[in-house]
Structure 1
Amino acid sequence: MRVKRYVVDSMPDALQKIRADLGKDAVILNTKEVRSGGFLGLFGKKQIEVIAATDTAQQPESPTPAASLKQAVPAGASFVSHMQEAIAVASRQAAAAAKPTAVSEEPFVPPLAPPAQSTSPAPRNKGKEDLLMDEIRQMKEMVSRLAADKQDGLPYPEPIRKYERILLDQEIAPDVADALLRGAAEEFADEASDRTDESAYRAVRNQLKRIVHSGGRKGIDPDTRIAHFVGPTGVGKTTTIAKLAAEQVLKRNRKVGFITSDTYRIAAVEQLKTYATILNVPLEVVFSPQELTRAFQQLEHCDVIFMDTAGRNFRNQMYVSELNSLLQTNGKSETFLVLSLTSKYKDMKAITENFSRFKLDKVLFTKMDETDSYGSIVNLLYDFPLQLSYITNGQNVPDDILETNEDKLIDALLEERES
């Protein structure tokens, strides 16, 4: 391998010289701006220092346009091997330069600008050796970074990259997984201690926690007067309301009331009436927003009122607007969006976008026991500023519901972690 250094006024000049000296297969290893001439380091002329190399000695060819020179170098492992070979050659040249009697077989004669004052041959040789050693150190650092962080041309270090499959298998969206892993890679690179598989795992966990942890109160606020529950059909709103009402009655000793506007689904009112009878709480049925005032008057003695809404086609803007009129109240209220983890995230996103035009406070996920993938939770919290609240994992009332534990959720997302 031949390695040569050039100090030129512009890159076109360098490309032409490299082409003529090293041939069309030459590659550029490093470029940087230098100053030459001047007085005591001042008023020097700006020039460009270029280090180029070629694998084999070649006969100079007639100059062709500079753009045809190969400025790109091989990616991945081939690039690292190429650089390591160049470092080895340069190291041999540095060793030869340290011996006055030694003659390097591979020319590396930098065209240095004439010094301001004459110097003895010994300092010149030492300066050349120091310059060469600086270049070798820079090349070694470049190889180390590329070998550690971009093996095989991929964007993540190896200890981070293995989590890509796990996240995608959990149905985390590719763009969300990419942003998450890039953040983890940056955190992993900043590790002061040795970069281990355990530190990579911590970095991925931390990035997941930044998405799913919002810091707010997950459950129903103590001063909430009305809790609205909205969502598509079949996600389990009525059963979820019964579970939360039982918690408020049995654990919080609060007086609870029910309002339902779900008069479209067969036996929906009867289902909630059954739960109301079991818990011994009053129930009011409303057929239009105008009847809300009467219902609130009937339940004015209650500490908290749970309002069940009908699950219908949320792509219908007229229905969403009609439902929004049912969410208008005078007291402190919270609106819970209820979504099933068995739904496609594309549908979850469309539903959330429709409701976000009005008022959403928290999101509640049902049917965790019916799926093994929980990536849609990460996707939704990444795309929308919602507070994660409850997760249900069965049909038993009042059991099978709990406030979301972020650490346990992340454990479930990363359960395929390799030891």
Structure 2
Amino acid sequence: MQVKRFFAADMRQAMNRVKEELGADASILSTRKVAGGIELTAALDYNLQSLPARANPALEAELRKTKEHIMQAQASMSLREEVAGTKRDRQLFDKVMAHSTAIHQPAVAQYSSASQPSVDQQELAQMRSELLGLRELLEMQLGTIAWGSVQHQQPKQAELWKRLQKMGLPAELVGNLMQKVASETDQRQAWRMVLAHLAHELDTPAKDPLQHGGVIALVGPAGMGKTTTLAKLAARYVLEHGAQNVAIVSMDSFRIGAQEQLKTLGRILNVSVSHVEVGQSLEQALHPLQKKRLVLIDTAGLPAQDPMLAMQLDSLAARGVQAKNYLVLAATSQAQVLKAAWHAYKRCGLAGCIITKLDEAVSMGEALGMAICHNLAVAYTTDGPRIPDDIQASRSHQLVSRAVRMQNPDDPGEQEMAAMYATSYQAAARQVG
């Protein structure tokens, strides 16, 4: 048996080093936090190399049990901080830690301090950090085991997983799609079915929202392309229905030059442009425009923590305004940025979303995944600076076709696939639970 210690900044880097030097069959003996990162002790039994590579159901079951104990321990620590020192919390924590230690004694031996009469905040923080590290390690192990099993037993399914990952779709959505084609043995037919299910999951308006008229507001973080998109919508409407039927209102008094930009647009299109004055409500600003068939509202892209954002969104959600609010999202943004934008702007009640900057994006799966997961209809997409040419009303099958064309040409790495498969497995477990 070969035993070796590894040092790295975090658990993921340490695991990568173990796999590079000892291979995927190495066993983790212990982990502990040290100055500057993580110390991981791993061993390789040479006799294991003669065994065929396959998933170990017993190990996977034990790892899942350990993960449950760790999650219980984290919940216990949170409760312990709220009612520090109570006997009930200490007993719960000790019980969970006893179970976890019995399964992975070397990895959690340093947590024995939990049984001492007093535990200060620094020790609790260290214990939490260690538990998070252990959970990350277990998740990686489970993901690697599960993904290796899929590759070995269902290579065609594994290939579909890779193709969907290259599109940039989130793991939870990919897992749901794969369940729907699990019984299909023909790979080409399975791929067509996956894309058909993906198109079915995408919601797009049956009719161009501009044709309904009314009040349409564009909301979203700064830099997503709200003002440019509004200009495209206004120009498109003017070409079809005339300038006398549309008006523009600006709520953006924070960005330098925002109102001047809209006024320039108004002069070019011969469209009236107004802005919400200080102390004036949005409903008051819209009152003189009641006879307009379409009113487009440009909003300020404020940080989620800014109290002015809440006031702006509440104004848009007011019953007297009756605005249809569309969240503008750039396809160039990371998945977490898109998700954060939805959480920040859902307060005003969203009628759908508009995906912008497709001409600058390397994939569009992140934006489509966010729209599907949060039940947002994709009203429009934009793919260039030209006004009004570079904007299109969305159709689900066209969006899917474009997402396929934009997929990453490079195959994902094994670590990426293992992490994605583990995330999908955890999402499915949460739904069952």
Q: Work out the CA distance in 2 between the residues paired with 1:77 and 1:268.
A: 58
Please say if 1:153 is aligned against 2:153: no
Please say if 1:168 is aligned against 2:157: no
Q: What is aligned with 2:312?
A: 323
Q: What is aligned with 2:221?
A: 232
Equivalent residue in structure 1 for 2:193, among 181, 203, 207: 203
Equivalent residue in structure 2 for 1:376, among 366, 372, 387: 366
Q: Work out the CA distance in 2 between the residues paired with 1:229 and 1:296.
A: 15
Asked if 1 retains the 8 angstrom alpha-carbon contact of 2:200 and 2:396, the reply is: no
Asked if 2 retains the 8 angstrom alpha-carbon contact of 1:263 and 1:269, the reply is: yes
Please say if 1:341 is aligned against 2:302: no
Aligned residues: 267
1:266, distance to aligned residue in structure 2 (A): 0.9
The residue type paired with residue 243 of structure 1 is K
The residue type paired with residue 337 of structure 1 is L
Q: Work out the CA distance in 1 between the residues paired with 2:191 and 2:283.
A: 54
- C-alpha deviations, 1:275-323, integer Å up to 9, x for none? 111111101111346243442233233111001011111243x233211
Asked if 1 retains the 8 angstrom alpha-carbon contact of 2:328 and 2:353, the reply is: yes
Q: What is aligned with 1:30?
A: none
The residue type paired with residue 287 of structure 1 is E
Q: Work out the CA distance in 1 between the residues paired with 2:399 and 2:383.
A: 13
- Root-mean-square deviation (CA), in Å? 3.0
Asked if 2 retains the 8 angstrom alpha-carbon contact of 1:231 and 1:339, the reply is: yes
1:405, distance to aligned residue in structure 2 (A): 2.6
The residue type paired with residue 285 of structure 2 is A
3-state DSSP of counterpart to 1:370? coil
Q: What is aligned with 2:431?
A: none
3-state DSSP of counterpart to 1:369? coil
3-state DSSP of counterpart to 1:185? coil
After superposition, the Cα gap between the structure-2 partners of 1:219 and 1:315, relative to the gap in structure 1 and judged at 3 Å, is farther
- C-alpha deviations, 1:93-139, integer Å up to 9, x for none? xxxxxxxxxxxxxxxxxxxxxxxxxxxxxxxxxxxxxxxxxxxxxxx
3-state DSSP of counterpart to 1:228? strand
Q: What is aligned with 1:246?
A: 235
Higher relative contact order (Cα pairs below 8 Å, separated by 6+ residues): 2
3-state DSSP of counterpart to 1:240? helix
Q: Work out the CA distance in 2 between the residues paired with 1:342 and 1:391.
A: 13
1:198, distance to aligned residue in structure 2 (A): 2.4
The two structures have a TM-score, normalised by structure 2, of 0.56
Q: Work out the CA distance in 2 between the residues paired with 1:279 and 1:339.
A: 25
Q: What is aligned with 1:185?
A: 182
The residue type paired with residue 352 of structure 1 is W
Equivalent residue in structure 1 for 2:297, among 300, 307, 311: 307
Q: Work out the CA distance in 1 between the residues paired with 2:308 and 2:335.
A: 22
Asked if 2 retains the 8 angstrom alpha-carbon contact of 1:223 and 1:332, the reply is: no
3-state DSSP of counterpart to 1:171? coil
3-state DSSP of counterpart to 2:191? helix
Q: Which moved more, 1:230-239 or 1:152-161?
A: 152-161
Asked if 2 retains the 8 angstrom alpha-carbon contact of 1:229 and 1:338, the reply is: yes
After superposition, the Cα gap between the structure-2 partners of 1:197 and 1:260, relative to the gap in structure 1 and judged at 3 Å, is same
Structure 2 gaps, min length 5: 1-50, 57-145, 410-433
Q: What is aligned with 2:355?
A: 365
Asked if 1 retains the 8 angstrom alpha-carbon contact of 2:177 and 2:194, the reply is: yes
The residue type paired with residue 358 of structure 1 is C
- C-alpha deviations, 1:11-43, integer Å up to 9, x for none? xxxxxxxxxxxxxxxxxxxxxxxxxxxxxxxxx
3-state DSSP of counterpart to 1:154? helix
Asked if 1 retains the 8 angstrom alpha-carbon contact of 2:150 and 2:157, the reply is: no
Kindly, what percent of the aligned residue pairs are identical? 28
- C-alpha deviations, 1:367-386, integer Å up to 9, x for none? 00001211112321232121
After superposition, the Cα gap between the structure-2 partners of 1:352 and 1:75, relative to the gap in structure 1 and judged at 3 Å, is same
Q: What is aligned with 1:6?
A: none
Please say if 1:354 is aligned against 2:344: yes
1:267, distance to aligned residue in structure 2 (A): 0.8
3-state DSSP of counterpart to 1:372? coil
3-state DSSP of counterpart to 1:200? helix
Equivalent residue in structure 1 for 2:376, among 357, 375, 386: 386
Asked if 1 retains the 8 angstrom alpha-carbon contact of 2:314 and 2:347, the reply is: no
3-state DSSP of counterpart to 1:357? helix
3-state DSSP of counterpart to 2:389? coil
Q: Work out the CA distance in 2 between the residues paired with 1:173 and 1:297.
A: 43
After superposition, the Cα gap between the structure-2 partners of 1:152 and 1:347, relative to the gap in structure 1 and judged at 3 Å, is closer
3-state DSSP of counterpart to 1:226? strand
Asked if 2 retains the 8 angstrom alpha-carbon contact of 1:289 and 1:325, the reply is: no
The residue type paired with residue 374 of structure 1 is M
Equivalent residue in structure 2 for 1:283, among 273, 284, 296: 273
After superposition, the Cα gap between the structure-2 partners of 1:152 and 1:268, relative to the gap in structure 1 and judged at 3 Å, is closer
Asked if 2 retains the 8 angstrom alpha-carbon contact of 1:218 and 1:388, the reply is: no
The two structures have a TM-score, normalised by structure 1, of 0.58
Q: Output aligned runs, 1:3-14, within 5 Å.
A: none
